[in-house]
Amino acid sequence: MEKKKVLIVGGGNAGLSVAAQLLRKNKSLDVQVIEPSDKHYYQPAWTLVGAGIFDIRKTVRNEADVIPAGVKWIRDAITEFEPEHNRVKGKSGESYTYDVMVVAPGIQLDWQKVKGLRENLGKNQVSSNYSFDHATYTWDMIKNFTGGVAVFTNPSTPIKCGGAPHKIMYLACDYWRKKGILDKCEVHYISGGSVLFGVKEYLATLQKVVEKNNIHLHLGANAVEVDGINHILYYEEKSADGQPVRKDIHFDILHAVPPQSAPDFIKNSPLADPKNPHGYVEVDKFTLQHTRYANIFSLGDSSNAPCSKTGAAIRKQAPVVVENIISFFNQQKLEKEYHGYSACPIPTQYGKLMLAEFDYSNKPTMTFPFDQAKPRWTMWMLKKYILPWLYWNKILKGTA
């Protein structure tokens, strides 16, 4: 009998988690991953790289070394979907067919939507932990800062790891306090979001951190342009009658996070959710099956499941996708459900971290038998040592 073929688009956190777990459940499947990059990144540690406490080289491995045993890696980039024919096209000109497809090519960083941002990254005191190439420059800026205006931005679009734009700000403030210069620093958070954090139990903790560090919050304010030479950030706020008002702020250092959306080849495909302004893959938010193409599933940053986009979310999504694919092949009802679990480990200072866990209802879903809204040293150790180990040794191998 011919093997059933599962084609996975994207060999990142989500794609490899599903590939490894699928083969553990059913060795008779033909599992293939299409991934253009020869490098695989552990992105959650980039915040720690920017804070000077994690070696950037430990956040990257060769893709060939992390592809799960038994999985075939096709080095190509998908450019087009033909779901009516169970076929996709690659940049190489090749076409690939499948019985079931899993779509997991991550999220696109739209640097160009903030004029001048990409051009200034890594120079003129402008950085971003969202770039492997520049996270170390963030640390250079923080370490060498002697006082002045420090600006941190967060876009209005959904992003991967909603906490990352402010995590680095709390660590920077703590570093400057310990260096004895915090009273010479004027710290601004310019965020397109309407709140600092969406879950009120965790928000209360962060508000105290903001107060303690005397951070100036600008909510509903969207960065639009960086003038690196003159150290000016332009941003837009809405006036009382809803009109955009352009403002500017001088910075001595700037940590910027770009707007994000589904990769263009997803946005422009029949798989995209036509109602989603960011073009994510349209799935049932519980089964993660495509709402129009029954043999397509999607998870991770590229799906329109209305959860917070994190690796932690993928840990709960991957087993759901795997079980439901197996049920699909067995022509059974898809019974496994994902309920929006996500986690955001937010360091509030060096050595202390609040592990915010929540679900679709934005209610805390705490794993540990203590109040996780309280920042703790144990949770810091989890983020710094245990989670990276778990990622490389268990999650990518399909055993956690």
Ligand X SMILES: Cc1cc2nc3c(=O)[nH]c(=O)nc-3n(C[C@H](O)[C@H](O)[C@H](O)COP(=O)(O)OP(=O)(O)OC[C@H]3O[C@@H](n4cnc5c(N)ncnc54)[C@H](O)[C@@H]3O)c2cc1C
User: Does 105 sit near ligand X (CB under 6 A)?
Assistant: yes
Calculate the CA 26 to chain-centre distance: 29
DSSP secondary structure letters along 83-132: GGGTEEEETTS-EEE-SEEEE----EE-GGGSBTHHHHTTBTTEE-TT-T
CA atoms within 13 A on the CB side of 228: 16
CB of 245 to ligand X, least distance (A): 30
To the nearest whole angstrom, how small is the minimum distance from the Cβ of residue 250 to ligand X? Answer: 26
265 binds ligand X (CB under 6 A): yes
| Of residues 363, 65, 300, the one with CA closest to residue 161 | 300
Using the rule CB under 6 A, is 35 a contact of ligand X?
yes
Q: Comparing C-alpha atoms, which of 185, 184, 181, 167 is closest to residue 255?
A: 167
| Catalytic residue selected from 161, 173, 185, 307 | 161
x/- letters, 303..322, toward ligand X (CB under 6 A) = ------xxxx-x--------
Instruction: Report the nearest approach of ligand X to the CB of residue 26 (Å).
Output: 21
Q: Where are the alpha helices (DSSP H) in the chain?
A: 13-25, 46-50, 63-66, 117-120, 135-144, 164-179, 200-212, 264-267, 311-329, 377-381, 387-390
173 is catalytic: no
Among 6, 161, 288, 326, which residue interacts with ligand X (rule: CB under 6 A)?
161
Query: Within 13 Å and on the Cβ side, how many CA atoms surround 134?
Result: 21
Distance, in Å, from the CA atom of 78 to the CA atom of 106, rounded to the nearest integer, reads 13
CB–CB of 178/190 below 8 Å?
Answer: no
Of 173, 185, 307, 344, catalytic: 344
Which residue has its beta carbon closest to ligand X?
A: 12
Q: Under rule CB under 6 A, which residues in 45-104 are in contact with ligand X?
A: 46-47, 77-78, 104
Tell which one of 7, 13, 68, 170 touches ligand X (CB under 6 A). Answer: 13
**Which run of H or E residues covers position 245?**
strand 244-250
Residue 88 Cβ vs ligand X, minimum distance, rounded to whole Å:
9
Contacting range for ligand X; rule: CB under 6 A; set: 42-50, 51-59, 245-253, 324-332: 42-50
According to the binding rule CB under 6 A, does residue 164 interact with ligand X? yes
SS3 321: helix
Nearer to ligand X among residue 34 and residue 114 (C-beta)? 34
What's the CA gap between 377 and 110, in Å, rounded?
35
Q: Which of 33, 29, 42 is nearest to 3 (CA)?
A: 29
Q: How far is the CB of 174 from ligand X (least distance, A)?
A: 17
Q: How far is the CB of 351 from ligand X (least distance, A)?
A: 16
- From residue 112 to residue 151, what is the string marking binding to ligand X with x (rule CB under 6 A)? -----------------xx---------------------
CB of 43 closer than 8 Å to CB of 65: no
Active site residue 344: yes
Backbone angles phi, psi at 377, to 5 degrees: -65, -40
| 37 interacts with ligand X by CB under 6 A | yes
Does the footprint of ligand X cover residue 11 (CB under 6 A)?
A: yes
User: Which residues of this protein are in contact with ligand X, per CB under 6 A?
Assistant: 9-15, 34-37, 43-44, 46-47, 77-78, 104-106, 129-130, 160-161, 164, 263, 265, 300-302, 309-312, 314, 345
Active site residues: 161, 344
